[in-house]
Amino acid sequence: MLKLSTWRTLIMASILLISGSVSAASSPPVIAAASDLQFALTEIAEDFTRESGQRIKLAFGSSGVFYRQIMQGGPFELYLSADEAYVERLATNGMTQDAGTLYALGRLALVVPDTAARNADKQLGDMREGNIDSSIQRFAIANPEHAPYGQRAEEALRHIRLWNILKDRLVLGENVSQAAQFVASGNAQAGIVAYSLALAPALQEHTSMALLPAAWHQPLRQRMVLTNKAGPVSEAFYQYMQTPAARAVMQRYGFDLNSGE
């Protein structure tokens, strides 16, 4: 079973591969990214560095937490949010260069450990009928107070009338990546996380997953924007995110690119 420490090592390794040594002559710009982008954006950033020779530092976390940090003068030059509402608020408050651009629509997935008696497809079938396996005593989602994927997970559970049944069994991650850690490490018997994380080999090797119907929750419209602190490297990466090569990586990790914008 994947240990929590192993997952954390993967996260730190992905950041260090992109950021390089902190003692370098010029510090790379810091990019604030929703944690559902952990694997997709790390791959895209590696491609960007290989092609351009320019380095960036990725910071993954909750979109709501990053929003507050940027409002308080945080050092981020580019912000990739899992909910466009946070970007719109920053723009309204004059913290960004413009309104940014919609880069993807996110999806949710049910994940269960591969040691579970019933796989994710069977569990999802039960949930459609308003039932939940009695063996599930800890159910992981991101914290709905500040994590968009947690907010949409709550909406999905309310839609199928399981929220009241599960709310006392919830294990809340600071962000959706931590919620995925809870399931991967066996600290939760099931959870609703980002589809992009569920598709990552680090999770797939130890869990089964089932894609939730998009109709169960409001769309996860994910928007990115350059802050007023942005320099040429972060601006170049912002443009690179909109190239066919970057979009192909996003699509491979389950993001819907038909954003309608």
Q: What is the pLDDT of residues 112-132, one digit of tens each?
A: 998 876 788 898 988 988 888
Domains for the chain: give ranges and CATH numbers.
Answer: 4-105+221-252 (3.40.190.10), 106-216 (3.40.190.10)
Helix (H) or strand (E) segment spanning residue 260: none
User: What per-residue confidence (pLDDT) applies to 114?
Assistant: 86
Return the C-alpha torsion angle 174, 179, 182, 185, nearest 10: -120
Q: What is the mean pLDDT of the chain?
A: 90
Please tell me the distance from the alpha carbon of residue 208 to that of residue 120, in angstroms, as a whole number.
Answer: 5
Please tell me the distance from the alpha carbon of residue 186 to that of residue 182, in angstroms, as a whole number.
Answer: 6
Please tell me the distance from the alpha carbon of residue 253 to that of residue 194, in angstroms, as a whole number.
Answer: 10
User: What per-residue confidence (pLDDT) applies to 182?
Assistant: 95
Report the chain's terminal Cα–Cα distance, integer Å. 41
Mean pLDDT of 91-97: 98
C-alpha closest to that of 27 among 83, 75, 97, 89? 75
Q: Is the pLDDT of residue 4 over 80?
A: no
Token pair for 30: 């810091």
Mean pLDDT of 39-68: 97
194 forms beta bridges with 108
User: Nearest 5°: phi and psi at 156?
Assistant: -65, -45
Q: What is the CA radius of gyration of the chain?
A: 18
| Overall pTM > 0.75 | yes
- Residue 50: CB atoms within 10 A of its CB come to 8
Mean pLDDT of 32-37: 98
Mean pLDDT of 222-242: 98
User: What per-residue confidence (pLDDT) applies to 26?
Assistant: 74
Q: Is the pLDDT of residue 6 over 70?
A: no
User: What per-residue confidence (pLDDT) applies to 8?
Assistant: 53
User: What per-residue confidence (pLDDT) applies to 25?
Assistant: 44
Mean pLDDT of 130-158: 94
Q: Is the pLDDT of residue 193 over 50?
A: yes
User: What per-residue confidence (pLDDT) applies to 117?
Assistant: 65
**Torsion sign across C-alpha atoms 60, 191, 159, 215:** positive
Q: Is the pLDDT of residue 259 over 60?
A: no
In one letter, which amino acid is 255?
F
- Contacts for 108 with CB less than 8 Å, ≥ 6 apart: 149, 152, 153, 156, 192, 193, 194, 195, 211, 212, 216, 217, 220
Mean pLDDT of 90-97: 98
Look up residue 235 and give its DSSP letter. H
Look up residue 227 and give its DSSP letter. B
> How many residues make up the chain in this entry?
261
User: What per-residue confidence (pLDDT) applies to 19?
Assistant: 42
Token pair for 183: 């399931």
Q: Which residue has the higher pLDDT, 118 or 146?
A: 146
Q: Is the pLDDT of residue 23 over 70?
A: no
Highest mean pLDDT: which range of 106-120, 127-141, 159-173? 159-173
Mean pLDDT of 173-199: 95
Mean pLDDT of 70-87: 98
User: What per-residue confidence (pLDDT) applies to 115?
Assistant: 80
